[in-house]
Amino acid sequence: MTIVLDDGRPAPEGATVMLAGEGTPFPVAFGGEAYVVGLQEGTNRIRLNWRGATCEFQVRTSVSNDPVPDLGSHVCRGVTR
């Protein structure tokens, strides 16, 4: 997936994302791209963290045979510090 902040910039490289309620962080790469393991079918809430800032967004998934599906671009709104 690609993560974009509500001001239109990609999520910062080196930030981390994790499924809400889980403790495993996944790194954000150049251009706001992230690979997240453990998404469930349906709606998943994800939290983005970097340098004391955080925001959340939702990702909807469905059953797929693709081992690395493209989940598209998601806007992380409501950045807080």
CATH of the domain at 50: 2.60.40.2070
Q: How far apart are CA 5 and CA 75, in angstroms?
A: 6
For 48-75, what is each residue's pLDDT tens digit? 999 999 999 999 988 777 677 789 999 9
* pLDDT digit string, tens, across residues 19-54: 988 889 999 999 999 999 888 889 999 999 999 999
Element counts in the chain: helices (H) and strands (E): 0, 6
Look at the pTM and tell me if it is higher than 0.95. Answer: no
Report the pLDDT value the prediction gives residue 5, as an integer from 0 to 100: 95
Domain count along the chain: 1
Strands (E), the chain: 2-5, 16-19, 26-27, 42-50, 53-61, 73-80
Domain that holds residue 17: 2-80
